[in-house]
């Protein structure tokens, strides 16, 4: 009997059937249990003979069932591990990926170049007071230069002050000089606004301002800074640069800087050809501006420039239309490798 039942247990292929088998044999009303109940009716001698045999049989069956159960459970676990296995060598599903906007990339790069040669970064608000954006920069009310700027004006506030969206980053010059004593060596990258829109102008654009004020600063310093910047930014040992006399109320003398380039088949190439593209305005800080911030022009002098970041970004990648930078068109960003 023992070997018959043990064989049935070992042959059992699933846990439910094993349980049925256990109930049928050693459950309360199971075959072996019922047989053991017969013991009560036996004579003492028979009890002595069969008692231990039955007990041994029961132990063997309990152990056999437990072993089989453990084996079946292990099989089930292995089967589950097998079927739920993850193939980590499969490629992942593509997920949309963010990237740094080209203008931000240029801004970071420009900042890095200037911080390497000793400039620190200054900031000012985009919603600016008329005083910082114009008056302190030697552009009084009614000055024709205000019209040059196509200013976005904000409604007057309670105290009758009219704020503007800053038309350039030059107000940061004033804020810097009013915040503490010279010397100053700062750049101020940021957004600027003018009511203007065509292939090379957008109502919102970016500039980086530079201001250097110390004793004995002259135009040679200005020229070197700009040349050094262009060499690094355009990765050319020999960039063609032209200083063209110009006018800004806050610098004297003033110049505009053009970079030598070629316009070929709707593309712009740097370091070739004999065309010119304007990239910045610059000059020696006007004595009037220094006086406006209580500096003595006989003691302190310096230079400033304001560069169009979007312009140099166009040049760097040969992108002919500035408006594309702000159209948020993923296909365009992908085409130029600005998005994955």
Size of the site for ligand PHE (CB under 6 A): 10
Which residues from 191-210 bind ligand PHE, rule CB under 6 A? none
Q: Is 168 in the site for ligand PHE (CB under 6 A)?
A: yes
Spatial separation of the C-alpha atoms in residues 78 and 84, rounded to whole Å: 10
Q: Is 184 in the site for ligand PHE (CB under 6 A)?
A: no
Stretch that binds ligand PHE, among 110-118, 119-127, 212-220, 298-306 (CB under 6 A): 298-306
Q: Is 124 in the site for ligand PHE (CB under 6 A)?
A: no
Stretch that binds ligand PHE, among 91-99, 117-125, 299-307, 310-318 (CB under 6 A): 299-307
Helix-helix angle 2-11:44-83, to 10 degrees: 10
Tell me if 313 sits within 8 A of 102, measured CB to CB. yes
Which residue from 133, 138, 151, 251 is in contact with ligand PHE, where contact means CB under 6 A? 251
**Roughly how many angstroms between the first and final C-alpha of the chain, as a whole number?**
74
Both tokens of 167, joined, read: 């038309």
What is the closest distance, in whole angstroms, from the C-beta atom of residue 158 to ligand PHE in the complex? 30
Spatial separation of the C-alpha atoms in residues 16 and 38, rounded to whole Å: 29
Q: Is 136 in the site for ligand PHE (CB under 6 A)?
A: no
What is the closest distance, in whole angstroms, from the C-beta atom of residue 303 to ligand PHE in the complex? 8
Stretch that binds ligand PHE, among 226-234, 259-267, 304-312, 313-321 (CB under 6 A): 304-312
- Of 56, 53, 66, 5, nearest to 30 (Cα)? 5
Q: Find the residue with minimal CB distance to ligand PHE.
A: 306
Q: Is 249 in the site for ligand PHE (CB under 6 A)?
A: no
Q: Is 233 in the site for ligand PHE (CB under 6 A)?
A: no
Q: Which is nearer to ligand PHE, 257 or 270 (CB)?
A: 257
- Of 148, 102, 157, 103, nearest to 127 (Cα)? 157
Residue 307: CB atoms within 10 Å: 24
Residue 74: which region, alpha, beta or left (left: phi > 0; alpha: psi -120 to 50)? alpha
Q: Which is nearer to ligand PHE, 61 or 165 (CB)?
A: 165
DSSP string, 4-23: HHHHHHHH--SHHHHHHHHH
* Per-residue binder mask for ligand PHE (CB under 6 A), 265-294, x = binder: ----------------xxx-----------
- Of 279, 153, 149, 256, nearest to 208 (Cα)? 279
In sequence order, what are the residues at sequence separation of 6 or more whose Cβ sits closer than 8 angstroms to the Cβ of residue 113?
A: 229, 232, 233
What is the closest distance, in whole angstroms, from the C-beta atom of residue 248 to ligand PHE in the complex? 4
Which residue from 306, 310, 325, 333 is in contact with ligand PHE, where contact means CB under 6 A? 306
What is the closest distance, in whole angstroms, from the C-beta atom of residue 262 to ligand PHE in the complex? 25
Q: Compute CA 184 distance to the chain's CA centroid, rounded to the nearest angstrom.
A: 31
Q: Is 134 in the site for ligand PHE (CB under 6 A)?
A: no
| Positions in the binding site for ligand PHE (CB under 6 A) | 168, 170, 248, 251, 281-283, 304-306
């Amino acid at each position: 009997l023992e070997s018959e039942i043990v064989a049935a247990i070992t042959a059992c292929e699933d846990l439910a059937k094993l349980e049925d088998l256990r109930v049928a044999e050693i459950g309360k009303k199971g075959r072996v249990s019922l047989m053991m109940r017969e013991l009560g009716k036996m004579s003492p001698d028979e009890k002595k003979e069969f008692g231990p045999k039955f007990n041994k049989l029961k132990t063997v069956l309990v152990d056999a069932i437990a072993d089989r159960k453990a084996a079946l459970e292990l099989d089930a676990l292995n089967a589950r591990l097998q079927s739920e296995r993850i193939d980590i060598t499969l490629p992942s599903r593509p997920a949309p990926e963010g990237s740094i906007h080209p203008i931000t990339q240029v801004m970071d790069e420009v900042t890095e170049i200037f911080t390497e040669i000793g400039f620190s970064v200054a900031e000012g608000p985009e919603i600016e007071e008329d005083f910082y954006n114009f008056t302190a920069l030697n552009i009084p009310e009614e000055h024709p230069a205000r019209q040059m700027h196509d200013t976005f004006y904000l409604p007057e506030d309670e105290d009758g002050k009219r704020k503007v969206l800053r038309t350039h980053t030059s107000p940061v010059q004033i804020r810097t000089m009013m915040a503490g004593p010279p010397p100053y060596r700062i750049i101020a990258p940021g957004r600027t606004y003018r009511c203007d829109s065509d292939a090379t102008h957008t109502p919102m654009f970016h500039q980086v301002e530079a201001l250097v004020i110390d004793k004995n600063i002259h135009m040679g310093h200005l020229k070197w800074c700009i040349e050094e910047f262009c060499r690094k930014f355009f990765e050319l040992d020999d960039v063609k640069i032209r200083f063209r006399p110009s006018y800004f109320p806050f610098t004297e003398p003033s110049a505009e800087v053009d970079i030598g380039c070629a316009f070929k088949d709707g593309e712009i190439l740097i370091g070739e050809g004999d065309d010119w593209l304007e990239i910045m305005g610059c000059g020696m800080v006007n004595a009037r501006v220094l006086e406006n911030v209580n500096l003595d022009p006989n003691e302190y002098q310096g230079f400033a420039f304001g560069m169009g970041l979007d312009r140099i970004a166009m040049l760097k990648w040969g992108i002919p239309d500035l408006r594309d930078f702000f159209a948020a068109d993923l296909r365009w960003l992908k085409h130029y490798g600005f998005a994955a």
